[in-house]
Chains A and B, each alone.
Chain A
Amino acid sequence: MRTALVMLGGALLAGSAALAQEGEFIDGEFVEGYTYVADFMPPDQLLELMEAGADDVVIVDTAAPLIWEDERIPGAVNYPWVHELALPVTLPRDKTLVLYCACNDHEDSVDMAKKLSLVGYLDVKVLEGGWFEWLDLGYPTEGLAVE
């Protein structure tokens, strides 16, 4: 009986500890119950911003450097997908970041957007449809393969 009570107590403690772990560290601070939800930007909106010369938007290509060099959205900077972000992150914090990847369901760009949000980036968007949608729409690209 005593053994059973001890085991039950242990199980309850373990359960409450697991519950207390729900959440994420955001910019070094633990936020309980945090769930990342991607904020998508449609490609036509990004194109409009580019054509308007918006200087408060930074387009971020999450592909490997060789892929980025080959072909990218004009003006996009390269910040490749990684398992763990290398700190400090060199992307600007005072601009809107628009991330994209060549994935069918935004896997890499959403993952990187989440990681950036966890180190305090507050204005991170994901390009809806990503690189493939951009190409399908016939929107402009630049890079070695285009020259």
Chain B
Amino acid sequence: MNVLKLGVSLAASALSIAALVASAEVVSGLEIGTPTASIPVVDVTGAYAGDRICYVCEFQDDPNVLAFFRGTGDDTARLIVELNALYLARRDQGFKAVAMIVEGEVSKAWLEALNETEQLEIPLTYLRRGPADVAARLYQINPDVDNTFLVTINRFFAGNVSAIEPDQFDRVIAATDEMLAAR
């Protein structure tokens, strides 16, 4: 009987561990601890508007969030506005952020309009070749996921939050604050 109880207990523990591992799995983007490689994007509203630019190189060791969005839309707009607010609240700590639309040049007019409406300070960009762009493959952006927030510092990934709804942006804030507190 005791052996049976022990067996059930071990099985339950194994299931709990499996559930924990599954919840910690990255659904999009590179794993924590991976170095950040340079990726060119097309700048729409930033300091290099109209040009190709690598914001990973631009940010260098500064703490930042590289935010990938599969496409445009209301949820993307809300999350970009939230990201901009996070930037404004943390920029005195050297924090930076960039939004990158994976679907490519078709998002250009939408980004310009969003920037006009919201007066954003973070650069809005897109991947030049759309979903087929090598940057999406290099950063292992899951094409089935709406958004991927990669929290980075010293050119290493320190946090990964992906596939969130706009009302879950506090997870990006928490990951950013954890990174800022740990440096």
Contacts and interface: CB of A to CB of B under 8 A. Distances in A.
Given A64-B138, A132-B40, A145-B129, A107 B57 contact: yes
A66 B57 contact: no
A80 B35 CA distance: 11
B134 A67 contact: yes
Chain A interface helix/strand/loop/mixed? loop
B155 interface: yes
B137 A66 contact: yes
Contact of B52 (A62, A70, A80, A102): A102
Contacts of B60: 107
Nearest to A107: B57
Interface residues of B toward A: which range? Answer: 10 to 19
B38 A104 contact: no
A99 to B, nearest CB: 13
Interface in B124-140: 129, 134-135, 137-138
Interface residues of A, number: 22
A102 B54 CA distance: 7
Contacts, number: 58
Nearest to A102: B40
Contacts of A101: 38, 54, 57
Contact of B37 (A69, A81, A105): A81
A83 interface: yes
B58 interface: yes
Contact of B38 (A69, A83, A102, A135): A102
Interface of B: 35, 37-40, 48, 51-54, 57-58, 60, 129, 134-135, 137-138, 155
13 contacts: A63-B37, A64-B37, A66-B138, A83-B155, A101-B38, A102-B38, A102-B39, A103-B58, A104-B51, A104-B57, A105-B58, A107-B57, A131-B40
Interface of A: 62-64, 66-67, 69-70, 80-83, 101-105, 107-108, 131-132, 135, 145
